[in-house]
Copies of this chain bind each other. A is one copy, B any other.
Amino acid sequence: MDPLNPAVSLVLDRTLEGTLGIELIEVTEDRVVARLPVTDRVRQPYGAVHGGAILAMAEGLASMGTLRGIAYPAEVCFGQEINGSLLRTVFDGHVEATATILHRGRTTWVWDVRALDSEGRLVAVARCSIAVRPNRQHAPDPA
């Protein structure tokens, strides 16, 4: 998956990331960066950015970074445990989140995610554990 590749953007258009309007900036197995422009699509009823949109972005970044690093399709990954602290309300501009790898285990990758507003203030922190498992549907190539 190459987020700078137009084909990938197309694919994201039919995902939650596309629905929320998330723009990928960088995807490596160490660090994933993305930006969420503040629009009515991601607000709660009182006009602020919905905390759930920030958590969803965090989970997506951690999953994309893990996917970039594992031996797909022999291995697959899925979000297992997510937690986040919402620290500051955002009304306008964008939220930029950076996921940084904390632990690359055999069965679990753990990411630290920090989200900043357009002024560079910390608005949320999250930790996401992504499970890595052998793909039981994957037949190895014939030798």
Contact = CB atoms under 8 A, between A and B. Distances in A.
Contacts of A98: none
Interface residues of A, number: 53
A120 to B, nearest CB: 14
A44 B107 CA distance: 21
A78 B89 contact: yes
Q: Is the interface of A mostly helix, strand, loop or mixed?
A: mixed
A4 interface: no
Contact of A53 (B42, B48, B56, B87): B56
5 contacts: A11-B45, A16-B20, A56-B56, A81-B84, A107-B133
Given A52-B56, A79-B86, A85-B103, 20 more contacts: A11-B45, A14-B40, A16-B44, A19-B19, A19-B41, A51-B78, A51-B79, A52-B57, A52-B59, A52-B60, A80-B86, A81-B85, A81-B86, A82-B82, A82-B84, A82-B86, A83-B83, A103-B122, A110-B125, A125-B127
